[in-house]
Structure 1
Amino acid sequence: MAVSEALKLRDSGRLVLGLLVNLASSICIVLVNKWIYVQYGFPNMSLTLVHFVMTALGLWLCQALGLFCPKSLRPSRVLLLALSFCGFVVFTNLSLQNNTIGTYQLAKAMTTPVIIGIQTFYYKKTFSTKIKLTLIPITLGVILNSYFDVQFNFLGILFATLGILVTSLYQVWVGAKQHELQVNSMQLLYYQAPMSSAILMFVVPLFEPVTGDGGIFGNWSSTALVMVVFSGIIAFLVNLSIYWIIGNTSPVTYNMFGHFKFCITLLGGYILFKDPLSMNQGLGILCTLCGILFYTHFKLGEKEEEKSKLTQRP
């Protein structure tokens, strides 16, 4: 019994640590990336490529240090995940570049309803009516904020919508692939990050300059380069923690935890970048937060019911 309790405590400690790493790195990367776009004008896809390369290098270093043992996988089994990873990061970064941090963060809240839709219709997973009803205030809050955003623009909303769709698919596939291929987060990302880097190397020259003014190999200041490398290191922590959390919980739980992060990120956006906030946007944020809180309350209640049923079984 004591051993069982110790294992539960250890697992809980690891989960809390993983959530804290994801919390800190996710908030930092939004604020650092926004700073890089605003202060230096570094190209979006090129920054994404740096993120992928840094993630691949970080995983290579981890396996060299013996932190995990790579598992042999056929590239075709990971290709779809790599493509969705490219779309996930590119579209979310384009959304960040073309929207206020408030709209960017609230648009990401729509990932939860989309994930629930995908898991319901394609994976035949069931959710209680109470859980489904919490999506109403979340969706309403996002619509309110987006409609009254003083910096509303069609391009920004288009990128945000594409980002929601691709991110939802990516997060569902991350969990599904770990179970399907019987690999852990590091083993899967070890294959997927270099593959995503290779794909993006062919895409970047089609949309952005490679050399010269504004190119990835342009004449950037040492401060700008330090910030870009710093952003890449944070991206490695974000990507690794996303895989680990989804693999150990679920895409919906990860997403709801993500909504908690948006409150802190919003505050940083308004303080650092002076993003305007209208009364109607404030109501939208409050509405979304209410939905998140109700979801958390109902989800915890359902887990307690499941535990009590298991303990009552003979």
Structure 2
Amino acid sequence: MLSGRYQLILSLSINLISSISIVFVNKWLYVKYGFPNISLTCFHFIATYAGLQICAWLGVFRPKRLEIVRVLPLSLTFCGFVVFTNLSLQNNTVGTYQLAKVLTTPCIVLIHVYFYGRRYSTKVKLTIIPIFIGAFLNSYYDVMFNMRGTIYAGIGVLVTSLYQIWVGTKQEELDVNSMQLLYYQAPMSALLLVGVIVFVEPVFAQGGVFGSWSISALLAVCLSGIIAFSVNLSIFFIIGKTSPVTYNMIGHLKFCITLLGGYLIFEDSLSVNQLLGIALTLSGIILYTHFKMADQRRKANRANHVNL
């Protein structure tokens, strides 16, 4: 068995690779086939539940009986996260959408400080500044605010922050591991999304989830579901073992790599501002990692000193 440290490194690696892969697979599905967005997300959670069920049959983990009411807030915030981030993307420019996503990190910090009593060092808080400036530079020419888009983006940031915080706190509160919690949350979220799909996407008509799709499109959907299983499981494990802020830092790193990947694979243009933004974002992530590890070492040293 791998130690906790190596499990975390493995999960970070899997999350990084799978999260970047799923962006390009999903983009292929949206651009080439026009597959409906929320229906694909719903399928991702069905695939995640199926993967967890196989893991349970193989003895990888043992499902734990949980009260549905206690898991429901997590599923509701996930659905809110999906719906409002999609509405934000629909009603804002891509630049404004990306800028709003970056605000999730300071929002999580504020919720942690004022509602959970968690403390962050000043150095850790300051690392948010180059990340925010980097994101702004990446979207400088594409930022355009409007009332409806701003409202959707604001609600999306708040719900996403709550979802990521509860992914961690629910594991502690319910005394479960990432697999045991996701085993309940995945099918519940899929069921809730079905109720959303009926109102916002075609179901049986052309372009709907039960419409006519080619074999290649269905294979791409299946591949997307397999990758989503890796993404969802690694998210729960990473947040459970670290924190939502650390996971967000990884998200900013994935954003930079995705931009570079779009430039190299899809020949998307990158301006000097975007390259500078990527450099600033990466510097903020590196500084955050350095200061966070230094804080953890100090805490460990104090604990050892007390035990002596």
The counterpart of 2:46, out of the listed 35, 48, 53, is 53
Single out whichever of 178-187 and 251-260 deviates more from structure 2.
251-260
Structure 2 Cα separation of the partners of residues 19 and 98 of structure 1 = 32
Partner deviation per Cα, 1:41-86 (whole Å, 9 max, x = no partner):
1111111111111111111221122211111111110111001112
Partner deviation per Cα, 1:170-222 (whole Å, 9 max, x = no partner):
11001000000101111111111111111111110101110121110111111
Q: CA deviation at 1:32?
A: 1.0
Structure 2 Cα separation of the partners of residues 296 and 36 of structure 1 = 34
Cα–Cα, structure 1 residues 157 and 269, in superposed 2: closer, same or farther, change >3 Å?
farther
- Contact map agreement 1:148 1:280 (CA 8 A) in 2: no
The counterpart of 2:23, out of the listed 18, 27, 30, is 30
Structure 2 Cα separation of the partners of residues 216 and 183 of structure 1 = 34
Residue 104 of structure 2 is aligned to residue 111 of structure 1: yes
Instruction: Give the corresponding residue for 2:221.
Output: 228
Cα–Cα, structure 1 residues 85 and 139, in superposed 2: closer, same or farther, change >3 Å?
same
The counterpart of 1:240, out of the listed 215, 233, 241, is 233
Residue 212 of structure 2 is aligned to residue 212 of structure 1: no
Instruction: Give the corresponding residue for 1:63.
Output: 56
Give the alignment of 1:1-314 within 5 angstroms.
10-92=3-85, 107-149=100-142, 161-313=154-306, 314=308
Partner deviation per Cα, 1:207-238 (whole Å, 9 max, x = no partner):
11101211101111111111111111111111
Structure 2 Cα separation of the partners of residues 222 and 201 of structure 1 = 23
- Contact map agreement 1:101 1:266 (CA 8 A) in 2: no
- Give the total of aligned pairs: 306
Q: CA deviation at 1:101?
A: 8.0
- The TM-score with structure 2 as length reference comes to 0.89
Q: CA deviation at 1:99?
A: 8.1
- The TM-score with structure 1 as length reference comes to 0.88
Question: How high is the sequence identity, in percent, across the aligned residues?
Answer: 60
- One-letter identity of the residue aligned with 2:120: F
Structure 1 Cα separation of the partners of residues 230 and 153 of structure 2 = 23
Partner deviation per Cα, 1:268-305 (whole Å, 9 max, x = no partner):
12233333322223333332222222212211222222
Cα–Cα, structure 1 residues 51 and 101, in superposed 2: closer, same or farther, change >3 Å?
farther
Cα–Cα, structure 1 residues 292 and 120, in superposed 2: closer, same or farther, change >3 Å?
same
- Contact map agreement 1:137 1:291 (CA 8 A) in 2: yes
Structure 2 Cα separation of the partners of residues 18 and 24 of structure 1 = 10
- Contact map agreement 1:139 1:288 (CA 8 A) in 2: yes
- One-letter identity of the residue aligned with 2:296: K
Aligned-residue CA RMSD (Å): 2.6
Structure 2 Cα separation of the partners of residues 79 and 145 of structure 1 = 36
- Contact map agreement 1:34 1:97 (CA 8 A) in 2: no
Structure 2 Cα separation of the partners of residues 48 and 163 of structure 1 = 16
- Contact map agreement 2:94 2:139 (CA 8 A) in 1: no
- One-letter identity of the residue aligned with 1:10: S
Instruction: Give the corresponding residue for 1:3.
Output: none
